[in-house]
Amino acid sequence: MCGIFGCICEAAVPVLVDGLRRLEYRGYDSVGFAFISEGRIIVMKDKGSIDDFVRRVDLDSLDSRIEVGIGHTRWATHGAPCKENAHPHLDCTGSIAIVHNGVLENFLELRAGLQARGHAFSSNTDSEVIAHLVEEGVRSGIGLKGALASASSQTRGSMAVAALSSAEPDRIVCFRRESPLILGIGPKGVYCASDIPALVKYATRFFLMPEGSLATLTRGGFTLESASGEQIDPCAVGVDWDLAAVDRGGYAHFMLKEIHEQPLAVSNTLRISAEYVARAASLLLGKRILLTGSGTSYHACLCASYLLNSLGFDARAIISSEFEEHLKGQPLGEAVVVGVSQSGETADTLGAIRHAKRLGARVLGITNTLSSSITSLSDAYLCTQGGPEIGVAATKSFLTQLVALEMLSFRAALASGSLSRADYEGVVSEMASLPAKISSILGRLDRLREIALKYADRRDAYFLGRGMNVATAMEGALKLKEISYIHAEGYPAGESKHGPISLVEPGFLCVFVAPKDSSRQRIIGNVMEMKARGAEIFSVLTEGDGELVEVSDEHFEVPESPEYLYPVLCTVPLQALAYYVATYRGLDPDRPRNLAKSVTVL
C-alpha cells in the first residue's frame, strides 16, 4: 500500500512527479511532495490523484534548481483520505519531512508519549509519529540517520521511510522493514522507490534494501548499513524491463495493454527453465500441498488444486487471510505451502507463509517479482514471467500464474510416476499452443465490446462454472465487480440451486464458463435451470458447440483444447468483458475506487 519515491538529481520536481505517477497503482487517495529549496523544506500535498494535483498546483513556480525531494502516493489505512493525512508529514519545527509506506502497530502508544512530551500532531495517521520521533533524535544531536535508526527501533510494524532534514539538505535517508524499498543509480542521479517501474526511466543499476537496513543517498551515490551501524555491501538486481514495458504504449489503459500482452507473457512463462520447474516440483512429492493466495492469486490456487488432485496429489487451496484460522491446531511439518502472489508483497499471503514456516512447512513461492518478500521467504520459487503489471486488476499475472502452476503440477506428476513421459510431452506440446490460442481470442475482442455494451447497465451478475472453471468464474466475477462496481458473484454452477437462484428473475445476467470439458453436460442442466427463470445467458464456450449456443442469449467461443487449458482461455473474454463494461460506465479500470495494486496491510 502506498508508493514512495525520492530523488537527488538536477531538476528534481518533474522527476518526482513522473516517478510517483508510476507508483499510483499502489494507491491514489492522496499525493504529496517535500523538496529542499534554499535550505528549507517545502511541502505540497492534497487529496486525490497526481494528475488532479498537478492541474491544481503550480509546480512550475518551484525553483528549477531543486535537486532533493521525496514524494508519496497514498492508500489510506489510518485516517481518512484528506489533505491533512496526506504525506509527507512534518515534525513540530517543519525542518524534518518523512514519507512512509507500511503500518505501525504501536503508533497509539508512541503518539501518546510524544504528545505528553509536548509534540503537536496535525494528522490522524500512524506515520506522523515517525516525523516526531526523528525530531527528538535530531534534537539530541545524532543526526538524521541516527534519528531514523532510533525511530525505527521504537516502532513495531512495517515501515519503508524516506526522510529529509533541512539541517542536512544534501541527502535523503531511508529505512526499510517489511515494506519494499529499492535504490537506483543512473547517469543523472540517485533514487529510491517502492517499486522498480518508477526507477526504470532513470536508473541503470538497481539495489534492494535489505530488511532492517538504512541507506543514505547523496549526489555521489549511497551508503547502506544495518540498524546497528555496520556497513552492508549493496546487492544489485538485474532488471530487464524497458520503459515501453512500464508505459501504456498507445493503449487507453494499462489493463487493456496488459490483456493484450498475455500471449507474450504466457510464452515467456512457458520458457521458465525445465530445471527450475523440476526443482520446484520435487518439493511437492509425498507432501500435503496447501496453496495460498489472495484475490486473483487465490483463484489461481483454487484452479491448481483441482488439477493437482486429479494428478494424484493431496492439494487444498486456502485464502491467505484465513490460512491460520483454517489450519488452527494442525501440524504442518508434512506440508508444502505454495504461496502465490503477483507482487510477492501481499501481507495476507506473507502472513500465511510465515505461519506455515513457523509450524515447519516448506515453502514454494510463485511470484511475478523476483526481488519480493515472498521469494526471499521461500525454499524454492518460480518467477512467472508476466513483466510489470500496473493495472490494479490482475490480468496477465493470473494467466501466467495458471501456466506456472500447471507446469509445476504436470512436472510433479511426471516425477511421482502418475503421468507417463509420453503424456507429459503431450501436455508440454499442448501448452505451447496457448499463446497462439490467446492471440486468436484477442483478435475477436470487438465482439465482446458489443456484448459489454448490452450488459453495461446491469446491477447484478452471476458467474458460474464447474471443476477448474469454478475458479475461472470467480475470477470473471471479481474482474467485473472490482472495476465496474456491478455486484457480481462467482459460484460453482451446481451450487446455484442451493440459494443463489432465488435472486434470478427475468433479465438477470448469468455468465456461464462452459467449455467442452468433463462437466459440460452437467453445466447445460444448470444453464437450463437459470433460463427457466428468465435469466439472460452469456456463455463462454468451445467453438462449434451448437447445443450451448442454442440455449444462450450471447456467447463467445474459445478454441477447442484439453480440459486443463480452458481456465486460461476462458478467462481472457471475461477480462475483456469487465474492461469494456467499466469503460462504458465511464470508469477508469486502472484505478478502481478503494483498491490498491499491492495490499501490504493485514
Q: What is the 3-state secondary structure (H, E, C) of 540-590?
A: EEECCCHHHHHHCCEEEEECCCCHHHHHHHHHHHHHHHHHHHHHHCCCCCC
| For ligand M6R, the closer CB: 222 or 298 | 298
Cβ proximity of 199 and 236 under 8 Å:
no
Positions touching ligand M6R (CB under 6 A) are: 294-297, 341-343, 346, 349, 392-394, 478, 482, 595, 598-599
Cβ proximity of 160 and 373 under 8 Å:
no
| For ligand M6R, the closer CB: 321 or 496 | 321
DSSP string, 30-91: EEEEEEEETTEEEEEEEES-HHHHHHHS-GGGS-TT--EEEEEEE--SSS-SSTTTSSPEE-
Using alpha carbons, list the distances in angstroms from residue 116 to 113, 120, 121, 151, 336: 5, 10, 12, 17, 49
88 prior amide bond cis, ω within 30: yes
Closest separation between CB of residue 135 and ligand M6R, Å? 35
> SS3 for 491?
strand
| For ligand M6R, the closer CB: 251 or 424 | 251
| For ligand M6R, the closer CB: 32 or 365 | 365
| For ligand M6R, the closer CB: 90 or 374 | 374
Q: Phi first, then psi: give them for residue 368, nearest 5 degrees.
A: -100, 5
Closest separation between CB of residue 365 and ligand M6R, Å? 11
Pairing of strands 3-9, 68-74: antiparallel
> How many residues are recorded in the chain?
602
Cβ proximity of 317 and 422 under 8 Å:
no
| For ligand M6R, the closer CB: 213 or 294 | 294
201 a catalytic residue = no
Angstrom distance (rounded) from CA 590 to CA 15: 22
Closest separation between CB of residue 373 and ligand M6R, Å? 11
Residue 42's Cβ-count burial label (10 Å; 0-12, 13-18, 19+) is middle
Output the residue with the shortest Cβ distance to ligand M6R. Answer: 295
Provide the 10 A C-beta neighbour count for residue 325.
9
Closest separation between CB of residue 285 and ligand M6R, Å? 26
Closest separation between CB of residue 226 and ligand M6R, Å? 28
235 a catalytic residue = no
| For ligand M6R, the closer CB: 158 or 297 | 297
Angstrom distance (rounded) from CA 556 to CA 508: 18
> SS3 for 339?
strand
Task: From the candidates 47, 479, 481, 597, give the one annotated as an active-site residue.
Answer: 597
- The residues that are catalytic are 2, 597
